[in-house]
Structure 1
Amino acid sequence: MSENPDLISHNGIDKTRLVQSTTQPINIVCNAQPFGGGPGATLMAVMPLIGTVHITSTSIPSPEIGKKELVSLLQRLKPRLVVTSMDELVAAAAQAAGIPVVIIDLLLWFWPSISPQWHQADMVIAAEFYGVQERIISEKMNNVVTVPPLGPPPRTTAGPSKDVLLNFGGMVNPLMPKEEYVAYARLVYSAAKRAVNLRNAALPKSQHAKLIVLVASLDVARGIDPQDPEAARMVLPDEALDLMASSELVCCTAGLGNLYAAGAVANAVLLLPPLHEGHAIQTHVVKKAGVSVDAMDWHEFTGGAPINYYNGSLEVMDDVSKAQKEVISSGQAQKALTDRILAAMLHSANSAAGPSAQDPPLRALVTTFGQDNGDAMAARIVDVLTRVR
């Protein structure tokens, strides 16, 4: 009898061993920490691949209820396994309920300290990044396996358009009021719009560009330009990647998802000022590894001291908020922001006009760590399921 291809993952892990062991669907609980889009997007990529082995999943949000109530819920659901993307509360509740736990961690290198739940998990699936292997060794974490980060396959568009893409994905998080990130988007958009006009005035008509603005939040789409309700648009991920690949310059936040996507498909990249410590620290780590990436920071425009992004999250958020308000209230600071974006636009225009045999700098992320569509994470989850059945 020939093998059923639906029971073999793309990386060669044989899933028949799990299917043959049961005639009933396997119930697992899936959960994502509600911070930004990364944890949820990771589950969305991984769970359909696990579904090929006849697993039913019950998704629960990270609840506002206490641990006792969550333990009770899990005991009623009786799942074979809990898979959580970085949610410490859910991991702790599952362990208290005696349920095996797999933790997907996109930021193992980042945490100031490692939670006990990570050490007690049946498996921690860590996405590769600078410092991950060192962290595993220093913490003596024998239950960690590493996988390539989620991201699209590398590609470069020959002869990209002259357009400039402003991508505001990766902004929203629960520690920042909506008004803050809408004001951020409006500030950067206004500066980029002025910079495009100055860019076009400085270049021949054949090199003129238009500004394309992408957002992942309806609030940002509505608030970015009260005079132009079509200034920004929301698109599906595949279209966003196509626009990134075909644009001369991509301006985006330094979220890890953006870094991996830009590394795979973008021609030139300008990282926007950080909205929280993660954006800044990720940029610092990439630069420390020798990757030449163009990135803006608030002190360039305020003239003040650089923000210490290694302070606590709330303190950093407060410092970012103060810096943003200072730029919004100062015409000189706004001009400096416009000039900085204009410089990146002119540099990418000049680079695109001449021959270049070099890959874009952020492509180093792909060549160093690879890219995965979720197969590797799914295969590791199946490994645990075969042990706990």
Structure 2
Amino acid sequence: MAKLVLTAENFAFGPIGKLLTIAGLLKKQGHELVFAGYGTSLQLARNFFDEVHEIDTDDPKSNILLEAIISKADMLVSSMDLQSIIVAKRLGKLTVYIDCLFWFWESIPEPLFYIDLYIREHSINDKKNNTNVLVYGKKIKNLYSVGPIIPQVKSSKRKNQAIISYGGGEATHWYKAGRDTNYPYVMTEILNKYVDWKEFDRVIITTSEHILNDLSFKYPNTLFEFTTCSSHSGYLKEMSQSEILLTTAGLVTTQEAFQAKTPVIYLPPSNNSHYLLLDELREQGYAMASVHLSDFMPKLKLRGIPEEQSIPRVMHQLRKLEQSPKIQAAIGTRINELVQKRHKWVPISVRNNRRFLDSLGGNGAEFTAKKIKEILVSNGFS
């Protein structure tokens, strides 16, 4: 058996969700699994791995510690954490990269061209996916395309509850809640003030732990229950049992809801990738129930714009939202209408969403775990 270090983008639900799904299969193969990460990823990984290290992989000051951890491993498996790939390659380790946003990138970093396995997941914008395959298909060695990397969600009896997800809520080296954006706080105020929740027994709000602590202090006497759900599997259980999910347009959250047949209302985007994905979902007919910033402000053209420019543009519109009671009221009224009249859109939406998910192909997690095993065996590991 081999010793594997696993990493994921620090402040997002999606990459760590993919990683945990694959890690579950690698654990069944008998490998020793070590996690190194920070923020939301660490929050969701804490109780799963044989060994866990709290380390900000985005911070160059952490490179010495990261090198020490990876140097003791046989392979690095990274879910969209580039820096750990760079370190592992420098140390001569086997490297695997999981990319669930292949469609999103305008360019692929050169350090990813020469790794042992590059997994790109089929997702919402296949036209863009195919363009990137044409551009980078010959440059990236060992590039494989797979179906959705999502866990099998057990069918559950629905409870009279709603669940609200803000994803990771922030990305520290790009934008931080309470400093660059107040999205989780403003959106919670909107949902509390304008949405009638009385028909639900329970309304769960989930995001990063420290934001939840702030929200629970600010809203002590509401129906809202602020929780991390303890783990990603805990979140999946609550989501699959909920009558409805209200969420920012994160890819993994979307895929998991589609698989669980949980109806989705998309909240206004909180960052550039959410903005672009909600555009795509609407264009392709998979966001029948959605509220977008572009419904109330000029539409942003973010395609082809570098992150250092596109993120501030979204943050600028979010500040306008924060400062406009009129826009807040309009957003809240629209969300309330979608919640109260969901019987009108839920059946066809759930059916279309599941059909789309099935069209993307088989279980990408199983294929990825199998390829990792093949690489390990070919390099002398059992």
**Counterpart position of 2:17:** 41
Question: In the alignment, which residue of structure 2 is the partner of 1:137?
Answer: 134
Percent identical: 17
Q: Distance in 2 between matches of 1:388 and 1:305?
A: 54
Matched, 1:376 2:367: yes
1:227 offset after TM fit, Å? 4.0
Q: Is the 8 A contact 2:181 2:319 kept in 1?
A: no
Distance 1:265 1:119 in 2: 35
TM-score using structure 1 length = 0.77
Instruction: Describe the SS at the equivalent of 1:103.
Output: strand
Q: Is the 8 A contact 1:196 1:211 kept in 2?
A: no
Residue 122 of structure 1 deviates from its aligned partner by 1.6
Q: 1:267 and 1:38 mapped to 2: Cα distance?
A: 17
Q: C-alpha displacement at 1:181, in angstroms?
A: 8.2
- Matches of 1:58 and 1:247, distance apart in 2: 33
Q: CA RMSD in A?
A: 3.3
Deviation at 1:212, TM superposition (A): 0.6
Q: Deviations 1:212-268 (Å, cap 9, x if unpaired)?
A: 132132322233361416733211444533443444432111111211111112443
* Contact map agreement 1:259 1:362 (CA 8 A) in 2: no
Specify the SS of the correspondent of 1:43: helix
In structure 2, relative to structure 1, the CA distance for the partners of 1:316 and 1:194 (3 Å cut) is same
Does the aligned pair in 2 maintain the 1:182–1:220 contact within 8 Å?
Answer: no
Correspondence for 1:172: 170
Matched, 1:120 2:114: yes
Q: Deviations over 1:95-139 (max 9, x none)?
A: 233333221212222211112222211211222213234432332
Q: CA deviation at 1:163?
A: 4.3
Q: Which letter maps to 1:342?
A: N
Do the aligned partners of 2:294 and 2:300 also contact (CA within 8 Å) in 1?
A: yes
Render the CA deviation track for 1:120-164: whole Å, top value 9, x for unaligned.
112112222132344323322451112222324467778x56644
Counterpart in 2 of 1:218? 209
**Aligned partners of 1:375 and 1:95: how far apart in 2?**
25
SS of the residue 1:39 aligns to? helix
Distance 1:314 1:308 in 2: 14
- Verify the 8 A CA contact 1:107 1:127 in the aligned structure 2: yes
Task: Give the distance between the partners of 1:190 and 1:277, measured in 2 at CA.
Answer: 22
Question: Aligned residue pairs: how many?
Answer: 350
Is 2:4–2:75's contact at 8 Å kept on the other side of the alignment? yes
Equivalent residues of 2:155, 2:240 under 8 A apart: yes
* Residue 348 of structure 1, CA deviation: 0.1
1:187-226 correspondence runs (5 A):
187-197=186-196, 208-209=199-200, 212-224=203-215, 226=218
* Amino acid paired to 1:319: R
CA contact (8 A) 1:170 1:255 kept: no
The 8 Å contact of residues 3 and 31 in structure 2, kept in 1 or not, is answered as yes
Q: Does 1:80 align with 2:111?
A: no
Distance 1:51 1:268 in 2: 32
Q: Secondary structure of the equivalent of 1:138?
A: helix
Closer/same/farther in 2, CA of residues 371 and 35 from structure 1, 3 Å limit: farther
Q: Distance in 1 between matches of 2:67 and 2:182?
A: 42
Paired AA for residue 319 in structure 2: K
- Ranges in structure 1 where 5+ consecutive residues have no aligned partner: 1-24, 201-207
After TM superposition, list the pairs within 5 Å mapping 1:19-98 onto structure 2: 25-61=1-37, 62=57, 64-65=59-60, 69=64, 73=68, 76-77=71-72, 79-98=73-92
Gaps spanning 5+ residues in structure 2: where? 38-56
Q: In 2, distance between residues paired with 1:74 and 1:218?
A: 25
TM-score of the aligned structures, taking structure 2 as reference length: 0.78
Alignment of 1:283 onto 2:278: yes
* Deviating more after overlay: 342-351 vs 122-131: 342-351
